[in-house]
Structure 1
Amino acid sequence: MLENKEPKCVVEKEIEGMIDNARIAQVEFEKWSQEDVDRVVKAIGKAVYGEGEKLARMAIEETGMGKYEDKINKNKGKSKAVWKQLSGIASRRIIKRNPEEELIEVAKPIGVIGAVTPVTNPSMTPIHNAMIALKGGNAIIFSPHPKAKNTGIETVNIMREALFKEGASKDLLQIVKEPSLLHTTKVMELCDASIATGGPAMVKAAYSSGKPSFGVGAGNVQCVLDRKIDYRESIDKVIAGRIYDNGILCTCEQTLIYPQEIKLSLIDILKEKGGYLIKEDEMPYFRKHLFPGGKINVELVGKSPSELGRIIDMTIPKDTKFIFVMIDEYGEKELFTKEKLCPVLSVIGYESWNDALNIAKTNLLFEGAGHSAVIHSNNTDHIEEFGIVLPISRLVVNQQGSSALGGSLNNGLNPTATLGCGSWGNNSLSENLWWHHLVNISRISYEIKDKEDLSDKEIWDLK
C-alpha cells in the first residue's frame, strides 16, 4: 500500500463515515429473510458474471499482470461456483437442529467486515468476499491495492447497482476510492472483523488491528508425480496450472517432483508442450534476476515468458508458454524452489517415495508451509501419506492446482479467494474462507433426558 498524502484526521473521518453508513445498512439487512438474502447474493454474483470480460480487460490494462482469457474465467468461474455452493444453505437465524444432542444453532452476523484485496485478483477477490459476507447478513468495506483500485471500484459499483435493483442498500458494499496504508489500517481498526488477502505485511497488520482477522500465508505448491500413472495426462494438468493467468495465483504449481527414471522423456514432453529449458550456463544469471536479493522480482510478477525475458535482458522465444529449470538441490539450498509468481516451473527428480515426500516437505518449510500441494497418483496409500506428512491445509489429487485448490465445481473444497494456511502460515484458519467464518453461532442447549447415565468406573473404562 502507498503512504497516504491526506491528513490523518481527514482519512479517519472518511473511514468513520463509511463505517457508520455500513452499520445502518447492515442493521436493516439483518432483518431480511433467508430467501431475500439469497436473492441479493445471487444478484451480485450474476452481475459480476455478466461483466466478466470488461473487468478482466480493466485488470490487464491497469496492472499489466496476467492473461485476459484467464481473468475472464476467474471472474465468471468464481462467481458461478460460489453461488452454486451457497445456494440452498441456511445462513440466517436457526441454521441447524440436532435432535440427538438437543442442540439448535443460530447464525448471527459479525457486522461490518473489512477486506483488503490484492493487485493480483482485483475483481475475483471482491466478488467472492462480498457474496460470503452478505450470505451471513454482513456489510463489507473493501480497501483495494492502489495499483488496481479502478478495477476494484468498478467491480464494487457493479455489485452496488445490483443491490439497488434488489431493494437493498448500496452501503452494504463500499470501497475506499483512494486507498493507502492509513486508509486500510483504519478500516481494519474500525470494522468488526477483517479479511486480509495480500502480502505478509498486510496480513500481519490485520492481525495487529485488535479485531478478528482472516489472513493468508505464502503459497508454494509442490506437485508430485507418482509412478504408474499416465504421465502425459498429468503433465498437461501441471503445465495448465503453471501458466494459468501467467502464474500469478498462489495456487499455481511451483515445483514438479518426478520419478528420476523418466527424466529424459519428461524434458522432451515439457519442451514439446511449449516449455523453454534454462541451460546450465544460464542458471546463475536467471536465478539472480528472478530472485534479486533472494526475493521474487516484482517486475516479473504475472508476465509472460517473452516479457520476462525482455525485462531481464534474456532471449526467450516469443511462442514459449512457460520456462522450466532442472534442479538437483532443494529447500534453502535452491532459490528456484520458492514461490514464483510468473510462468517458471522448477523440476526435480526423486529415487524413492520417501525422497519425494522429503523434497516436498523441505520446500514447503522453506516457503509456503500450511498452504497447498498437488499429487498425481493412483496409489491410495501414497495419496493419504502425502496428506498426513506434509504441512499443508489442502491437497488435491489428479487435478490442476491453480483452479482446484481454491475450490471448484468438481471438488468438495469451498470456492474461495482466501486460502488459510493454519498455524504454519501464522493464520487463524486452515481451510478455504467461507460464509460460516463470517458469522457468530449461538447454541441453544436442552437437557438430553434419555441419555445413558454412566458410573465413574464405566466412564474411565471407555476406550
Structure 2
Amino acid sequence: MNTNMANLTDDIRVVVEEVLKSPDIKALLSGNTPADDAVPEQSGIFPDVDSAVAAATIAQRELIALPLDTRKAIIEAIRRVVLWNNRDLSSQAVAETGMGNLADKQIKNALAANKTPGVEDIEPRVCTDEHGLTLTELAPWGVIGAVTPVTNPIATITCNAIGMIAAGNSVVFNVHPNAKKISCRLVSMFNDAIHMEGGPRNLLCAIGEPTIESANILMKHKGIALLVVTGGPGVVKAAMGSGKKAICAGPGNPPCVVDSTADIVKAGRDIVLGASFDNNVVCICEKEVLAVASIADRLKGEMRKNGAFELTGAQIDAVTKLVIAEPGGADHEGAPNKAYVGKSPIEIARAAGIAVPPETRLLLMEVGREHPLVWTEQLMPVLPLVRMNDVDEAIDFAVVVERGCRHSAMIHSHDIEKLSRMAKVMNCSLFIKNGPCYAGLGQGGAGYTSFTIASPTGEGITRPRSFTRERRCTLVDSFRII
C-alpha cells in the first residue's frame, strides 16, 4: 500500500470513529431509539438545573478572562448560526410549536441576528475635573437565568445570547416545554460555534426537559445572579417574587389609533402587515384598531386590498366563540383559546366554517367597545376594529384597553399635537408613529432590536447594558490633562 493510500485509510478511520461517538448512532446500533419528544444529547444541554448552573459558572469565569476580541468573534459566530441556518431553524420552530409562518419567522430571526447590539453597547465612560478622574464600567452579573417563550423561541434566545454574552455573562435557559427541541438545538449550535471561536464550552446552557418546576428551581438557585424572563403574567409574577433582581418582559394589548389626517392607504397596508406578522404571535403586534368614524370605511377598504378578510354578522360570532376561551371586559382581562394562538387566518376561518381566499393574511371584524377581543391579547391574526367619534376619544380609549401594561402602541396620524399627546399618555416602552408595529424593533425603522421588552420592570427594549452592573473607580487628583 502506498503512502497516500495509507494516509487516506487513516483519515477514513478517524472519520468513522468520530461518527460512531454520536449518541444517535450508538442508539441505532444498540437497537434503541430515543423517544419522539426527547431532546437528543447536545452540547450545553443538561438534565437538571444544578449541573447546568455549575457548568455555566465555570464558563463565565473563563469568558471574562478572554480578550474582548474573542467575545466579539463569539457574537459574530452566533449571528452566522442563525443567518446560515435560518430556513431550517424556522421550519422546525413552526413544526414543533404549531405557531407562526415560515416567511415571517425568517424575517424575525434575521432581525434578531443582525440588529441585536454587541460589545459596542458596553463601552466605559470617563469623567474628569479638578479633583481627578472617575471611570465607570458596565460589569457582568455572572450567571443569568433566562426563561423564554413558545411564541418567539429562536429570536428570543438569539437576542438574549448575544446581549448577555456581550455583557460578559453566561446563561442557563429554561425554555418553553412546547419549544424545547428547537430551543435546545439552537443553544447547542451556538455552543459549538462559540467553542470554534475559542470561547468556553457551556457558555449557554439549557435544561433538556424544562418544566414549571425547573423554572422555579432556576429562579431560586443561589448560583443565579440575575433573572431575565420573557413570557406571560404567571412566569413574570413568579420571577418578580423570587427575591432576585429580575428583568421581565410581560404581556401587552397594543392598540392602534387611526385618525382623519392619516395616510389611509399606507395605514391600511401597515396595519395588515403588522397585525398578521408571524400570525400575530409577537407581543408588539397590533391587537385592536381604534379608527375615527369618518375614515373607518376607507380604512377597512384599504385593509381588504392588502389581505384582510372582513367578517360580518354570524361570522363574527362564530370566530369569537372559537378563539376566545374566557371573555374579557373592562373589569377583567380575557384569555384566548390556546389551540388557535399563532394559527393562520385560513385555519381559524376553516375551523369556524368560513371559506376565505388563500391569500388572506388577517381576519378583520368591526365590533363594539365591549367585544371580548378588544380586551384580550389574542396572539392570532384576528383583529377587532372599533369605530370612534374622534381622535381624542380614540386615544383615551387606547389607554384603557392597553390596561396599563405600558408595552406597545401605534398611531397613524399627521397631526403633530395628537401624535405627541398619545405618546405621552400611553407611556409605553414601544410607541410607533405611522408604521407597522415591527418598525419599532428596527424592521423598517431606525434602531436596534430585542425580543425581550421589559415593560413590567422598566428596562424597556433590552440590550447588552441591560444585563450589566454599573461599577465606578475614582482616582483622586490625577490624570486630568487640561
With normalisation by structure 1, the TM-score equals 0.86
Q: CA offsets, 1:21-61, max 9 Å, x none?
A: 11111112112222221121121122222111111010011
* Aligned: 1:22 with 2:22: no
* Aligned: 1:387 with 2:423: yes
Distance across 1 between alignment mates of 2:288 and 2:249: 20
Aligned residue for 1:88, secondary structure, equals helix
Distance 1:39 1:251, change over 3 A: same
Aligned with 1:86 (options 118, 136, 139): 118
Aligned with 1:351 (options 368, 374, 389): 389
* Aligned: 1:234 with 2:267: yes
Residue 410 of structure 1, CA deviation: 3.1
Residue 254 of structure 1, CA deviation: 1.4
Counterpart in the other structure of 1:4: none
Residue 284 of structure 1, CA deviation: 3.2
How does 1:77-226 map onto structure 2 within 5 Å?
Answer: 77-82=111-116, 85-86=117-118, 88-91=120-123, 95-99=124-128, 102-190=133-221, 191-226=224-259
Counterpart in the other structure of 1:244: 277
Distance 1:347 1:13, change over 3 A: closer
* Aligned: 1:399 with 2:435: yes
The answer to whether the 8 Å contact 1:369/1:391 transfers is no
Read off the aligned partner of 1:127 and give its amino acid letter: T
Residue 87 of structure 1, CA deviation: 5.6
* Aligned: 1:300 with 2:300: no
How does 1:423-462 map onto structure 2 within 5 Å?
Answer: 427-445=456-474
More displaced stretch, 224-233 vs 312-321? 312-321
The answer to whether the 8 Å contact 1:62/1:151 transfers is yes
Read off the aligned partner of 2:463 and give its amino acid letter: W
Counterpart in the other structure of 1:75: 109
Read off the aligned partner of 2:168 and give its amino acid letter: G
Aligned residue for 2:343, secondary structure, equals coil
Distance 1:404 1:51, change over 3 A: same
Distance across 2 between alignment mates of 1:183 and 1:347: 41
Residue 118 of structure 1, CA deviation: 0.8
Counterpart in the other structure of 2:73: 39
Mark the structure with the bigger radius of gyration: 2
Distance 1:86 1:381, change over 3 A: farther
Residue 405 of structure 1, CA deviation: 3.0
Residue 165 of structure 1, CA deviation: 0.5
Aligned with 1:309 (options 340, 349, 372): 349
Aligned residue for 2:112, secondary structure, equals helix
The answer to whether the 8 Å contact 2:375/2:401 transfers is yes
More displaced stretch, 48-57 vs 377-386? 377-386
Distance across 1 between alignment mates of 2:156 and 2:200: 21
Counterpart in the other structure of 1:371: 407
With normalisation by structure 2, the TM-score equals 0.83
Distance 1:345 1:441, change over 3 A: same
The answer to whether the 8 Å contact 1:81/1:409 transfers is no
Distance across 2 between alignment mates of 1:447 and 1:334: 63
Distance across 2 between alignment mates of 1:336 and 1:287: 11
Counterpart in the other structure of 1:458: none
The answer to whether the 8 Å contact 1:370/1:430 transfers is no
Read off the aligned partner of 2:128 and give its amino acid letter: P
Counterpart in the other structure of 1:459: none
Distance across 2 between alignment mates of 1:80 and 1:20: 31
More displaced stretch, 53-62 vs 205-214? 205-214
Distance 1:103 1:351, change over 3 A: farther
More displaced stretch, 265-274 vs 27-36? 265-274
RMSD between superposed Cα atoms in Å: 2.2
* Aligned: 1:361 with 2:396: no
Aligned residue for 1:405, secondary structure, equals helix
Read off the aligned partner of 2:424 and give its amino acid letter: I
**Could you list the runs of 5+ residues in structure 1 that have no partner in the other structure?**
1-11, 422-426, 450-463
The answer to whether the 8 Å contact 1:406/1:419 transfers is no
Counterpart in the other structure of 1:454: none
Aligned residue for 1:161, secondary structure, equals helix
Distance 1:325 1:447, change over 3 A: farther
Aligned-residue sequence identity (percent) comes to 27
Residue 226 of structure 1, CA deviation: 2.8
Distance across 2 between alignment mates of 1:267 and 1:374: 17
How many residue pairs match? The answer is: 422
Distance across 2 between alignment mates of 1:169 and 1:268: 56
Distance across 2 between alignment mates of 1:186 and 1:147: 19
**Could you list the runs of 5+ residues in structure 2 that have no partner in the other structure?**
1-45, 328-334
